[in-house]
Every structure is written in C-alpha cells, then in structure tokens.
Structure 1
Amino acid sequence: MENENIIVAQANDLEKAQFYKKTYSHVALAILAFIVVETLLLNILPIEWIIGMVAHKFMWLFIIGLMWLGSSLSERLTFHPSRQQQYLGLGAYVILQAIVFLPLITIAMATAGTEILSQAALITLFMFSGLTAVVFITKADFSFLRTAITVGGFIALGLIVCGAIFGFNLGLWFSVGMVVLASASILYETNKLKEQYNTEQYVGAALRLFASVMLLFWYILRILMSRKN
C-alpha cells in the first residue's frame, strides 16, 4: 500500500483524519459486536453454566489465563500485514471479552436490572469521550504513563489471581484504582494514535482502545453494583 509506512505524526491532515475516523469507527464496531455476541451468549447458555464460571476458583483462573493468552494472540494478529488476519484478531478479542463479561453482567442484571448496565455504559462513554478530548485538545504528551500502567497492570493481575485463589473480595477501592488505571490507559493509547502508529494500523489501534474501554466499563459496573448491595 502506498501509505503503509507513513507514521501518523508525519502524515498530512487528510491522512490523519482518515486514520482517526477508521480507528474510532472500528472501536464503535467492536463495541456493537460485543453487545451482539454478549446478548446471544446470555440467551443461549444456561445460567448454571455462566455462574459456574465464577463458582469454582480454578475455573475462573483458567478463564483469566485463557483471556491473557487470547489477548496476546489477538493483538499480534491485529498488527499482521494481512487485513484478514487483523480482523480475525479483533473478532476473536471481542468474543473473548464477551465470554469474560458473562458472569458479571448476569449477576448485575439479576441484582439490579438492566438499568445498571445503561448507567455504567453512559458513564464509560462520557469518561472515554472526556479523556479523548483531553489528549487532542491539550496536545499534552501522555507517554510517561507507560511505566505506571505496566507496573499497575502487573500488580492488579497479581491481586486478582490471589483473590481468586484465596477467595477474598478485593473491594471498592480496588475497583476505583482500576478505573484510574483504565483511564490512564485510555490517555496513553490515545496519545499513541498521534505518535506511534502508521496510517494502516487502525485495526490494531482500535483493539487497544477497545480493551481500555472494556476495562473501564468492567470496573465502573462493579462500583455501581457495590452501591446496590
């Protein structure tokens, strides 16, 4: 492709606009696909199977491990030179997210109804829009967040695994901390859109933004659920 190796930061205004449009369009399509797949799974799978995903700690650890491996493979595919492989990676990641979200959404709907999902989705949308605007309007450099996100991610993963093994609840403040981490990730990934990708890497860029949005949605939903208890 003629523009394949053009870094977004070095592209002209039209090329930048096209890249941003494609990236955010793919984020929106990934979210729509997630909703469709999640709805299908909720209607097809018996509720006993869904609750069984978190009823046994080793099953949940297996799912976390599967998610980690699947995420790594999906991200690698989305940066493959073949566009077909890129969409395969993005589609696989959407399905993985839908599977992982099954127990949380099932419990949320059972305890607080569908309204809580709408509330969490709206808050996530407003936060994502606001954080995106901060990056593009202020033109600040958020690349410094990389180390904090990496360290915070490993700490969070360790706490999640320990919580699953030993059966303790990580609590409200952990969810608040994860919202902060997800917000930092959105700032960092949005900053990368302007600096590190080339104009043909919009599928991979969309996957990383989608992952950050879903992490934010997960913990906002958990916070709202904790207020209902």
Structure 2
Amino acid sequence: MNNSIQLSRAQESERAEFYKKTYMHVALAILAFMVVESLLLKYIPDELIMKMLGGRFIWLGILGLFWLGSYVSEKWTLSQDKNVQYAGLGFYVILESVIFLPLIFIATRYAGLEIIQQAGLITVALFAGLTAVVFMTNTDFSFLRTAITVGGFVALGLIVAGAIFGFNLGLWFSVGMVILASGAILYQTSKLKDTYSTDQYVGASLLLFSSIMLLFWYVLRILMSRK
C-alpha cells in the first residue's frame, strides 16, 4: 500500500521526518563518494587517469555518459521501489567518483591533501549556510529557475567548447559556476516540498548531492588556481 503524501500537504512531523531522512542520505552519499574515490585512486593506474586528462574526445565521451547516467539515476530514484531508488543514488555516486578522479588526482599529487580538505569544508559551510537561509527565511526561490536553466546550458556549451578546442575557461568561470551551484541549492531546497512526496527522500537527496558536488568541484578548482 502506498502511503505517499505530497510534502506540501503533509503534517509538520511528516515533513520533519522527510528532511531528516533526506539530509541523512546526502551525508551517506558524500561518505560513499569519499570511499569510492579513495578506492579508484588506489587501484586505477596513474597512466589511465592521465589519459583521461589528455584526451579531449575521451573526456567528452565521459561527460556524455555522465549526463546520460544522471538522467537514468534520477529516474530510478523517483521509482516506487526502494531498491531501485537506492540503485539510482549508488549509480550516481559512482558516476561522480569517476568524473572527479582526474581532478582529485591532480589535487593530491600537486597541491596536497590539505587543499581537498579545505575545499570540502568550504563546500559544507556554503551548503549549510544556503540551506539555513531557505529554512529560516521561508523564502520562495522559484524565481531563480530561469537563470539557473539558462546558466546551466551556457556553462555546458562552454565546457564542451573548451574540451574540443583545448582552451582553459579560467578562474572567473569557476567563480560563476560556484554562484550557479549556490543558486541551484537555494532553488532546489525551497522547491523540495512542491516536487517530492514523503517517501521520495532518496530522490531529493540525489538532487541536493548533485549540486553539492558541482559546488565542491569549482571551489576546489578555485583553490587549486591559487597554487
């Protein structure tokens, strides 16, 4: 029997339980990412990681698979079957780990583990602050949707062009992406109640996890650019 209730129509206690489960799953996804990333760094040969960095078309292929995998993962997390939901979240964690592998490899080899820890702390602090803004002010950030959508397509176009033609997007692009990811977190957090039902906390956690990882990626790139 399906006892799912739209979050906006749920009782206060049910919403509190939904948010508790959602953010617990976000934390577990981050922990799983750290474990998988460590295993990849340990067992994937350095030469193969360097090929990912050097091959433009290989990188484009990985990005294409990532976008396809992201779509599939999101569909799975919205399934009524809990096993399928967790499979979607787990699959997405693995995808993120593969995408991050070259960046983490460079960071650990040339900037040190400390810079990853710094980027992680900054990311968590930003996410916590943005989340607090949504819950404490109860502001509807739906007005950010158009800007986030347009910004996302522009950013994707620049990333693809950079991969094809081999130019560096630079520091200001990373700053812009941090702003875009922050806006996405504000928008997604404020729209959770209108998008999800009380039993879809796994899907909600994937949504927030994806924005956190985008934020972490560009915070780390900014810190690395200073080295």
Matches within 5 A, 1:65-214: 65-214=64-213
The residue aligned with 2:3 is: 3
What is the alpha-carbon distance in structure 2 between the residues aligned to residue 163 and residue 2 of structure 1? 47
Q: Secondary structure at the match of 2:226?
A: helix
Provide the C-alpha distance between the structure 2 equivalents of 1:168 and 1:205, rounded to a whole number of angstroms.
35
Give me the whole-angstrom Cα distance separating, in 2, the residues matched to 1:74 and 1:2: 22
Provide Cα deviations, 1:146-183, integer angstroms capped at 9, x if missing partner: 11111111100000000000000000000000000000
Matched residue count? 227
SS at match of 1:169: coil
1:96-151 CA distance string (max 9 Å, x none): 00000000000011111000000000000000000000000000000111111111
Distance 1:191 1:80 in 2: 22
* Structure 2 residue ranges without an equivalent (≥5): none
Whole-Å separation in 2 of the counterparts to 1:14 and 1:94: 29
Give the letter aligned to residue 3 of structure 1.
N
Instruction: Describe the shift of the 1:2–1:70 C-alpha distance in structure 2 as closer, same or farther (beyond 3 A).
Output: closer
Distance 1:207 1:19 in 2: 14
Shift of 1:193: 1.7
Segments of 4+ moved more than 4 angstroms: none
The normalised TM-score by structure 2 is 0.98
- CA offsets, 1:28-53, max 9 Å, x none? 00000000000000000111111111
| Letter paired with 1:172 | L
Question: Is 142-151 or 176-185 further displaced after alignment?
Answer: 142-151
CA RMSD for the aligned pairs? 0.8
Tell me the percent identity.
66
Q: Which runs of 5+ in 1 are unaligned?
A: none
User: What's the CA shift for 1:194?
Assistant: 2.7
> What TM-score do you get using the length of structure 1 for normalisation?
0.98
Aligned match of 1:64: 63
In terms of mean alpha carbon deviation, does 50-59 or 116-125 score higher? 50-59
Instruction: Give the 3-state SS of the residue equivalent to 2:142 in structure 1.
Output: coil
**Equivalent-residue separation in structure 2 for 1:9 and 1:65 (angstroms):** 35
Q: Distance in 1 between matches of 2:67 and 2:93?
A: 13
Instruction: Map 1:36-75; keep pairs closer than 5 Å.
Output: 36-75=35-74
- The letter for the 2-side match of 1:117 is I
Whole-angstrom CA distance in 1 between matches of 2:194 and 2:126: 22
